[in-house]
Amino acid sequence: MRYSSKLFLSLIILISTFSKIYSQKFTIADVKSYAFPNEMVTSLQGDKIALAINEEGSRNVYVGEAPSFKLRKLTNFDADNGQEITSISISSDGKWVVFTLGGEHGGNWDVSKASNPSSSQIPSKVRVCQMLFAGGPLRVISEGDFPKISSDGEVIAFIKDDQPWVCHLDTVKGDDFLEIPRQLVSTRGKVSDLQWSPVKNQLAFTVNRGTYSFVGHTNLGKELDSEIINWVAPGFYKDSSPRWSPDGSQIAFIRTAASGGAVDSLSQRKPNLWSIQISNLKDKLSTTLWSSPNTQAGTLPPTDGHANLMFPNKQLLTFTSYHDGWPHIYSISTKGGQATLLTPGNFMVEHLSLSADAKSILFDGNFGNDPLDYHRRHIGKVSVDKANMSFVTSGAGNEWSAKSLAGSDTYAYLGSTAQKGPQVYLKNGNQAGSSLTANLYPTKFPEKALVTPTSVEFKSLDGLTIYGQVFDNGDGKTNKPAVVFVHGGPSRQMLLGWHYSDYYSNAYALNQYLAQEGFVVLSVNYRLGIGYGFSFQHPANFLVAPEYWDVKAAGEWLAKQPNVNPKKIGLWGGSYGGYLTAMGLGKDSKLFAAGVDIHGVHDWLGYSQMQLFGDENKKAPDAEWAANLISKASPISYTSSWTSPVLFIHGDDDRNVNFQQTIDLMKRLEKKKVKMESMVIVDDNHHWAKHQNSITVLEATAEFLKNQLMK
């Protein structure tokens, strides 16, 4: 390169850098450049960690080891091709790392089917992979998913075509891996939740056979087809979540009712009551250790990990239950008796992990000394056998998914603040956590330009207190346009800072960008969400969609703010949030002047494929009434009153909300001459697996809102 052109290039770089610094305006690509960590696991000894990190679409496995746990990239994937990394684990000898590459594990269906958001000519299959922790060649063991390494570190089991397969790990010769996997079992139904015995090569699993399911276990056996499946207390139930006792002599599992019987009322919420069963391998029966109370809150917790059944020692089991009105951790003797509430208080417990010595549980939840902790996540610790909970973290940030490491009081956890995107932290004793991934953030990430959202509360249309977070660039201007952001799920809670899920970090990034651009943004934590107790998450009058009242109340709250132009209030949301955006535009176009509905639900009857009027003896006693309510809770019922402009966005490989939901609503609105724009993201799914697609979607959302509300 000639000298003059080098000088010219340096000038260009210098100008663009200074312009960015002095302009202080960040782009959506800038605020989306956070390195997103998830799927973090530790080795049995707690001296190693492994996790997945998504760097602007390049998803890789990173590993770290004691004492520094400094992270090192293990894999070398550099394409933004949407191949997610899940089911990471480290062999008990610390030698191997295995993981799943590909799939759509946030989906409601086809989670193990290839995802192809780059529209490659031949989609990559979902593969089970292994690598040496120390580094080296990547081995694709097989097409498959949900790998688990045996307790001796020798064998990997995984699911392929809904059946368990196995293969030895240590069959390396030079760069070749010699052994080919074999199918361990061929049984009717779908096998899931593989669990190795802690002491020998026995594998337990759940077999789903439609309206019922069993727990089974089998030996690895020396020869092919040399063993049988042993069924654990089979009955007319749905049995699941097998957990081995530490000595391998017992299996505990969760039991709920099988599907069938007279069709109940559709308008009455029916709790999914459950029990904890324990069985000795020697006999065929099981004993009921604990049964959830016959109340609405006695339902199997719909929060992360559901029952979170763990078997920390021969005498004790721990589990999560919602029955006192909050998701809490309990312990119970394997001899039965009263369960002990380990984490009492008006807060929720969310992500749990058992310490390496199996004596304590690390968890995160919305607890703390600051009332605003209600809208945060901090890490707590409690013994498995006594209610001695302590706070491990506190403050104005969020911390989650903590793992205990070798050495007392050493933890790895994920965390964020209002400005710092999700990062991995190492914490020793009472020292503050130090980031292990700050170095992965590019300089363009606008940490210093991000606002700190403020917590607000207001009354909904029926008087219920609703919380939200306001993003405002503090420019002091009046008559500003405003947007209500509506999360999806709906069992979610938006936080005072970057969120622990990739989907909601994506949303948080856009809300920060919209605030920069001059919008007042209100992110509303509407009922059906988590974090505010059982009755908030499970309102009795659920069929009339009372959560929409909270969204409308959010719009009315904004309209009353002195710095907001009440004629320029919009909505945006994805999935369940797309549904509520469509409800707002259909029912209250006078309040909501425009909106962006991303992969929303628009026809509940179509979505749930409810056979309300099948054959007479399978019809619910209140089918007509329920159908009427469900219809009134669907946006397709409000096309006549819908006048505000809308942008629809949907990926056509969506495995949470069918693409047809948007086609259907658009065709109905066309007839009503509603001003619509639309964007199809071909071959991507509900979670914008391809990074560039997420940027395209956010840019289109921001552009539409600016065009409709800022002019």
Ligand X SMILES: CSCC[C@H](NC=O)C(=O)N[C@@H](C)C(=O)O
Using CB atoms within 10 Å of the CB of residue 358, give its burial: 0 to 12 exposed, 13 to 18 middle, 19+ buried. Answer: middle
Least distance (Å) between residue 650 CB and ligand X:
12
Binding residue for ligand X (CB under 6 A) from 99, 576, 592, 648?
576
Least distance (Å) between residue 489 CB and ligand X:
4
Asked if 214 is part of the footprint of ligand X (rule: CB under 6 A), the reply reads: no
Least distance (Å) between residue 107 CB and ligand X:
7
Using CB atoms within 10 Å of the CB of residue 495, give its burial: 0 to 12 exposed, 13 to 18 middle, 19+ buried. Answer: buried
DSSP 362: E
Report the side by side order of strands in the sheet with 434-435. 398-404, 410-416, 423-428, 434-435
Q: Which residue is nearest to ligand X (CB)?
A: 488
Binding residue for ligand X (CB under 6 A) from 522, 601, 633, 700?
601
Binding residue for ligand X (CB under 6 A) from 16, 19, 76, 108?
108
Q: What are phi and psi of 270, to 5 degrees?
A: -105, 120
DSSP 620: -
For ligand X, what does the binding mask look like between residues 434 and 473, x meaning CB under 6 A? Answer: ----------------------------------------
Stretch that binds ligand X, among 181-189, 376-384, 573-581, 636-644 (CB under 6 A): 573-581
Nearer to ligand X, 130 or 398 (CB): 398
Least distance (Å) between residue 581 CB and ligand X:
12
Q: How far is the C-alpha of 139 from the C-alpha of 118, rounded, in Å?
A: 23
DSSP 124: P
Start-to-end C-alpha separation, the chain: 47
Q: What residue type is 123 in one-letter code?
A: P
Nearer to ligand X, 163 or 416 (CB): 416
Q: What residue type is 212 in one-letter code?
A: Y
Least distance (Å) between residue 2 CB and ligand X:
53
Query: Could you say which residues in the range 641-670 bind ligand X, by CB under 6 A?
Result: 656-657
Binding residue for ligand X (CB under 6 A) from 181, 574, 586, 645?
574
For ligand X, what does the binding mask look like between residues 486 and 525, x meaning CB under 6 A? Answer: --xx--x----------x----------------------
Nearer to ligand X, 415 or 488 (CB): 488
| Closest listed residue to residue 525, CA positions, set 500, 479, 558, 489 | 489
Q: How far is the C-alpha of 557 from the C-alpha of 561, rounded, in Å?
A: 7
CA torsion 217-223-224-230 (nearest 10°) is -20
Residues with Cβ within 8 Å of residue 445, at least 6 apart in sequence: 30, 31, 33, 34, 421
Binding residue for ligand X (CB under 6 A) from 575, 581, 589, 708?
575
Joined tokens for residue 527? 């009922």
Stretch that binds ligand X, among 34-42, 350-358, 468-476, 485-493 (CB under 6 A): 485-493
Least distance (Å) between residue 574 CB and ligand X:
5
Q: How far is CA 664 from CA 108, 574, 650, in A?
A: 20, 17, 12
Least distance (Å) between residue 108 CB and ligand X:
5
Residue numbers of the site for ligand X (CB under 6 A)? 108, 488-489, 492, 503, 574-576, 601, 656-657
